[in-house]
Structure 1
Amino acid sequence: MENTHHPLFNWIPVKLIEKDNEIYFEWIYLGDLKYADPFFDETIAKCKSHAFNSKSFKVVSSVENLIEWSDELISVDLKSLVFHVSRCGSTMLSQSLASSSENIMVSEAPLIDQILRRDLFNDDKKSVLIKSVLKLLGQKRFPEQQHLIVKLDAWHIFKASYLRSLFPEIPFGLLYRNPTEVLKSHQKMAGMHMVPHVLPSIIFGISAKEINEISFEQYGGLVLEKYFQGFLDFYKRDTNVVMLNYNEGMKAVLEKFISFIKVDYADDALEKIYDRLKRHSKNQSVVFTGDQFKEEALQIDFSRLDVLHKKLNDSVVAY
């Protein structure tokens, strides 16, 4: 492969750094590791023990360096961006797809979130950076790799229209789940986006006044309402998007998604993808027997969530 002779082979950008009013990108050496862990950060953590990453100094570049270098490496084709509402099977989806050696599966890379949410760049520079970072994360490091699939953070649904402007031909997937099950999962261990003030509430379109008027649990319900509405809004105005319902079963979700993005896997690759569903999404050594939730009732008003959830279900039926 041509990439093997490039000095940046196996190097990827992982972090945006602001210092002395300048912006840099920190890089890390992957060695022979693939993005096989449930989350991108877990793979990066494993890389830190490599000799190239254990030195007292960090490898950094300028913004322009990153953009220029992204055109020097061969990358696989971007096949889809996956949006989700959290605790809805997105990790199982990404882990199943990652089990195919043909796929490069990037799952919630923090650098993508840093670029999308920070107001450090004008729109043109931000757009170039997003494309450049995806090229570098999707560099062809193994001969069998052909497809790049990127699972975004849950709140990136509010950036869907912007991302569509960057990737007008790329299929988008929207994965959701019954709201009670989503919020029951967060009841056990709340994700940071479900906790007031951890992420700026403006991301979700929630005002400070609204936060002060609702309970801690209801805040999570309100965030989920915003996700559901974001899904519905985008689905109405975009024709290259598929709605995926966890409650139809993850095998059905995978079949629908793979068909929609028009990737033809060989039978043995499909067998590996579907076989991964038998194991826990975050721990391959554990057989998945279904989710276990706390018995305590959720102190949440589900009236609006139920209406939005029905609309999502209706859109799936209409597909």
Structure 2
Amino acid sequence: MENTTHPLLNWIPYKLIEKENEVYIEWLYLDDKKYIDPFFDETISKCKSHAYNSTSFKIVSTVENLVDWSDELVSADLKSLVFHVSRCGSTMLSQSLATSNENIMVSEAPLIDEILRSHNFGTDKKSELLRSALKFLGQKRFPEQKNLIVKLDAWHIFKAGFLRSLFPELPFALLFRNPGEVLKSHQKMMGMHMVPNLLPPDVFGISATEIGEISFQQYGALVLGKYFQGFLDFYETDQNVVKLNYNDGMKSVIEKFISFINIDYSASELEKMYERLNRHSKNENAIFKGDSFKEEVLEIDLTLVNSLHEKLENILLEDITN
């Protein structure tokens, strides 16, 4: 079943707008574009040139409209939420999954983050808005689409308990990597969450005391340590989780993930996924030749973050042996 007659076919909510103490939803027309870009922001940018999106006025609705309109929408089945620590193969995972015509792969959609971090809604309203937003993002626009997979932002691990309350039976994935490699990647091109105060420190559960006189580079290790601790804390209370280690190889990561979420892809679909691993995650036209930062030297104390990473690896080994 598709949405061929739904009046909002190919329209998605993509942004919250606050005005005069009220919150509204801005809408975007997708036309025939699929989510095949490494990040959802890139898809948004491409769509903005469409005539429907480039007029002098915005297409805006109330948040109540979003909820009401989603009720009659046919969506692909939500199969998993992917949590990650950044620079750990999450983009490669999502790009590989996006090669399958059966998948709708949403990678770090800004609206999801805006809803999760908004101070304008209580828990119940956030739950309602998130469900409705995912129905629109996962709308069946093409007949072969069956599965919706959502890669979250790295800091959403701190919302994992809330998301579990929304989706009690849904498989969650936790993707991580050797901390030295993660931080070397950020040293080469810093992600915004690793820059002090670009995101409020309390997003990561970081206190003013912890920041203290910490160096710019050390702040990244502090954030990464919080991610690892978040993974460990969540796994202690939840077993419907698969732990994926980039350092085991991305083919192993994809195989393990697909097995866990229990989707039976055809041989040709799997071949496309594995073939994508040969090209750069953020530029499919470039051959992937390995990471170019391996030889860089970190002037960071990794004692704590290495200890947390070791705990995650040990849990992974216990799972394998059991």
Q: CA deviation at 1:180?
A: 0.3
The reply to whether residue 158 of structure 1 matches residue 158 of structure 2 is yes
Equivalent in the alignment of 2:231: 231
CA contact (8 A) 1:188 1:294 kept: no
1:117-138: CA deviations, max 9, x gaps? 1111111111011111001100
Q: Structure 2: state its 5+ residue gaps.
A: none
Cα 1:269/1:14, change in 2 over 3 Å:
same
Secondary structure of the structure 2 residue equivalent to 1:86: coil
Equivalent in the alignment of 2:74: 74
Q: CA deviation at 1:21?
A: 1.3
1:147-181: CA deviations, max 9, x gaps? 00000000000000110000001000000000000
CA contact (8 A) 2:80 2:149 kept: yes
One-letter identity of the residue aligned with 2:176: Y
The reply to whether residue 261 of structure 1 matches residue 261 of structure 2 is yes
Q: Which aligned runs of 4 or more in structure 1 are off by greater than 6 angstroms?
A: none
d(CA) in 2 for partners of 1:296 and 1:116?
Answer: 35
Q: CA deviation at 1:295?
A: 4.3
d(CA) in 2 for partners of 1:167 and 1:200?
Answer: 27
CA contact (8 A) 2:107 2:151 kept: yes
Q: CA deviation at 1:294?
A: 6.8
The reply to whether residue 52 of structure 1 matches residue 52 of structure 2 is yes
d(CA) in 1 for partners of 2:307 and 2:294?
Answer: 24
1:225-253: CA deviations, max 9, x gaps? 00000001111110100100000000000
One-letter identity of the residue aligned with 2:20: D
Equivalent in the alignment of 2:206: 206
**Equivalent residue pairs, number:** 319
d(CA) in 2 for partners of 1:6 and 1:244?
Answer: 38
CA contact (8 A) 1:161 1:234 kept: yes
d(CA) in 2 for partners of 1:122 and 1:212?
Answer: 32
Q: Structure 1: state its 5+ residue gaps.
A: none
One-letter identity of the residue aligned with 2:154: A
d(CA) in 2 for partners of 1:224 and 1:166?
Answer: 26
CA contact (8 A) 1:187 1:294 kept: no
Q: Give matches, 1:1-319, under 5 Å.
A: 1-293=1-293, 295-319=295-319
Secondary structure of the structure 1 residue equivalent to 2:307: helix
Secondary structure of the structure 1 residue equivalent to 2:233: helix
Q: TM-score, normalised by structure 2?
A: 0.98
